[in-house]
Chains A and B, each alone.
Chain A
Amino acid sequence: MKNNIAFLCFLMLLFSSCSPKEEDISVVVNFTHHWNGKVLSNQDLNQLKFTTENGENISVEKLRYLISDLSLTDFKNYHLINFHENTGTSLSISGLAENRYHLTFRFGFSDQDNTDGIYKDLNSVSFGVPTMLGGGYHYMQFDGKYRNDNNDALGFNYHAIRAVDNTDPDNLKFEDTSFEVDLGSVLITNNAKIEIKMNLAEWFKNPNTWNLNELNTVLMPNFQAQKIMRDNGKTVFSLGIVN
């Protein structure tokens, strides 16, 4: 397998440097982050200034998430976006043909790709899931603080992974809670910029109103909570400006 990949890379190197380029269009995909109508930047971190559908004030401290199977690429299967450190928020893709593309990606890894320990770049930034929960990788780590009913600011860890029922630790039951996001068709021209928006408010809103007083930490082993995240996640992404 490794050999094949290395060989492929080798071939690609050869071809990319030698063959004439007819259809070689480059695009940049930008991942932007929003709270309902408002665009977020790093300046917005660490402040208890967003209000969830359920009425809690929250802050965003750390946000990292993974997408895979982006329909524009087939060479690298996944991409990690780190909002709080501002890395991976823009992804350059080249070698495309000018065309209409159906833009889809998966939030997280499907079970098929979610193999424990195999992605060195993700291991190196500690994005893994413990073996006791089936291993593999996080889909998202969204950490911040919320003001609870006693007006006290406490941490929340909205960590999305493949849902796992660990009632019997020797017989874990899984449900693949990664999901496909379909952004419709986009006309790709050279140097196009494609914006993919994440509305953070949706994680707490639609269709399930999320109560942070009840669901705040230790959500990784919470089978039910993972399914709610999946359901709420489906309205989180949208296509922004394409130009």
Chain B
Amino acid sequence: MVQKYVFLSCFFLLMHCTSKEDERYAPTPYRLKIPTLFSDKLIPPIIPADNPLTIEGVALGKKLFFDPILSGDETQSCASCHNPQKSFTDQQPFSTGIEGNLGSRNAMPLFNLAWNFDERFAWDGKEFGLERQALEPVSNPIELHSNWQNIGEKLENNAIYKDLFLNAFGSSKIDSTLITKAIAQFERTLISGNAKFDKYVRGETTLTIEEQNGFDVFMDESKGDCFHCHGSNNNPLWTDNKFHNNGLDTHFSDLGLGAVTGDPNDNGKFKTPSIRNLNFTAPYMHDGRFATLEEVINHYSEGLKKSLTIDPLMKQVNEGGVQLSPQEKTNLKAFLRSLSDSEFVQNPDFKK
């Protein structure tokens, strides 16, 4: 019913601006499979007007994502650090680039990226927009260490890619703009929304007592109070995509957001990661310092470190935290695990 009116309105809008004849090749629009929980609870995902999803674009983006052709010596692809079976992380505290150089940040999982409404990517928000983010790893000397000029030429000399770009964008000129557009299209299709907890919210399953009590710890302002930053049953992203200092350090070897904004009040702030798919994404935090969820929970319970920029939501900082009981910790962990979506990591659409 609603769709009808929307459709009608669109129709009228179209009539209004009677289109100029568009001669260019038109690829097939791609229909994003949005989980009902997302469409029921959240505003629509962000798809830039100048890069609509198309079947041809997404397929091309996927091929590029898995293709080592993007790296200087053709040994690494995006997927080397963003492995689909690990929810697109690499399970190392720091990732190794093509020359064996170690980075200083934990590779981030990739899912529900189109719902990052502020479009600030990376742990410190330094990349604005997915298209622009994709520019970075290719030229980064400690990641793929290549150069865009070479890649453009290599792809133009490759008959298969030439066809694919023609089909996706109607262009035989291949450059970083089109390459990153295609990759971003693929990344926007990486949607994770079918964990046990999603099924519970949809009324399809029940939680164990532990999971239910753990969810209560998560939502209780006097206990975990995690929901102010990490989402809830009404925000199925399980992150606010904002930047906070959650009390990891007294002094910062990595300034995080502060290095990007130049504002010392932002020192030690990093983007809240989604707590979906934690079963696959260890180790945790921007520097991978915690190997297990127990360590994460102990951090929030009694390991908080004070600094000027620590978030005011961190309570009883002088005692290290709110001191959850062993039972509360076990429950919290059981709840966190219920947010892992094995269908996502097994989805054949996202594998090479």
Q: Which residues of B contact A160 (CB under 8 A)?
A: none
Contact flags B1-44 to A (C-beta < 8 A → 1, else 0): 11001101100100000000000000000000000000001110
Q: How far is the CA of A61 from the CA of B2 in the complex (A)?
A: 41
Given contacts A45-B265, A123-B42, A123-B235, contact A221 B221 (CB under 8 A): yes
Q: How far is the CA of A214 from the CA of B3 in the complex (A)?
A: 52
Cβ of A93 under 8 Å from chain B? no
Which residue of chain B has its CB nearest to the CB of A2? B2
Cβ of B227 under 8 Å from chain A? yes
Cβ of A170 under 8 Å from chain B? no
Asked if B222 and A124 sit within 8 Å, CB to CB, the answer is: no
Q: How far is the CA of A124 from the CA of B2 in the complex (A)?
A: 21
Distance between A115 CB and nearest chain B CB, rounded to angstroms: 11
Q: How many of chain A's residues have a CB under 8 angstroms from any CB in B?
A: 40
Interface pick from A66-74, A95-103, A149-157, A182-190: A149-157
Q: Which residues of B contact A221 (CB under 8 A)?
A: 221-222
Cβ of B194 under 8 Å from chain A? no
Cβ of A7 under 8 Å from chain B? yes
Cβ of A76 under 8 Å from chain B? no
Q: Place the interface of chain B in its size category.
A: 35 or more
Q: Which residues of A contact B229 (CB under 8 A)?
A: 126
Distance between A2 CB and nearest chain B CB, rounded to angstroms: 5
With beta carbons under 8 angstroms apart, the residue of B5, B115, B221 that contacts A220 is: B221
Main SS class of interface, A: mixed
Cβ of B275 under 8 Å from chain A? no
Distance between B128 CB and nearest chain A CB, rounded to angstroms: 15
Q: How far is the CA of A128 from the CA of B314 in the complex (A)?
A: 19
A/B pair count, beta carbons within 8 Å? 97
Cβ of B64 under 8 Å from chain A? no
Distance between B227 CB and nearest chain A CB, rounded to angstroms: 6
Cβ of A62 under 8 Å from chain B? yes
Contact flags A137-181 to B (C-beta < 8 A → 1, else 0): 000010111000000111111010000000000000000000000
Q: Which residues of B contact A220 (CB under 8 A)?
A: 221
Asked if B233 and A131 sit within 8 Å, CB to CB, the answer is: yes
Q: Which residues of A contact B219 (CB under 8 A)?
A: 130-132
Which residue of chain A has its CB nearest to the CB of B272? A126
Cβ of B313 under 8 Å from chain A? yes
Cβ of B289 under 8 Å from chain A? no
Asked if A10 and B312 sit within 8 Å, CB to CB, the answer is: no
Q: Which residues of A contact B227 (CB under 8 A)?
A: 126, 128, 130
Cβ of A117 under 8 Å from chain B? yes
Q: Which residues of B contact A157 (CB under 8 A)?
A: 221, 312-313
Q: How far is the CA of A160 from the CA of B324 in the complex (A)?
A: 25
Contact flags B224-242 to A (C-beta < 8 A → 1, else 0): 0101110111110000100
Cβ of A211 under 8 Å from chain B? no
Q: How far is the CA of A216 from the CA of B265 in the complex (A)?
A: 21
Q: How far is the CA of A65 from the CA of B315 in the complex (A)?
A: 22
Cβ of A46 under 8 Å from chain B? yes
Given contacts A125-B240, A145-B312, contact A120 B42 (CB under 8 A): yes
Given contacts A3-B1, A220-B221, contact A124 B318 (CB under 8 A): no
Cβ of B311 under 8 Å from chain A? yes
Q: Which residues of B contact A152 (CB under 8 A)?
A: 318
Asked if A132 and B231 sit within 8 Å, CB to CB, the answer is: no
With beta carbons under 8 angstroms apart, the residue of A7, A10, A130 that contacts B232 is: A130
Cβ of A116 under 8 Å from chain B? yes
Q: Which residues of B contact A217 (CB under 8 A)?
A: 221, 315
Asked if A126 and B117 sit within 8 Å, CB to CB, the answer is: no
With beta carbons under 8 angstroms apart, the residue of A3, A13, A14, A159 that contacts B2 is: A3
Given contacts A132-B216, A154-B317, contact A143 B312 (CB under 8 A): yes
Cβ of B249 under 8 Å from chain A? no
Cβ of B220 under 8 Å from chain A? yes
Q: How far is the CA of A123 from the CA of B2 in the complex (A)?
A: 21
Given contacts A6-B1, A124-B42, A155-B310, 13 further A-B contacts (CB under 8 A): A2-B1, A9-B9, A46-B265, A116-B234, A120-B41, A126-B240, A132-B219, A132-B220, A145-B312, A155-B313, A156-B312, A218-B222, A218-B225
15 A-B pairs with CB atoms under 8 Å apart are A6-B6, A62-B312, A117-B41, A123-B41, A125-B240, A130-B232, A143-B312, A154-B318, A155-B310, A157-B313, A159-B221, A218-B221, A218-B225, A218-B315, A221-B222
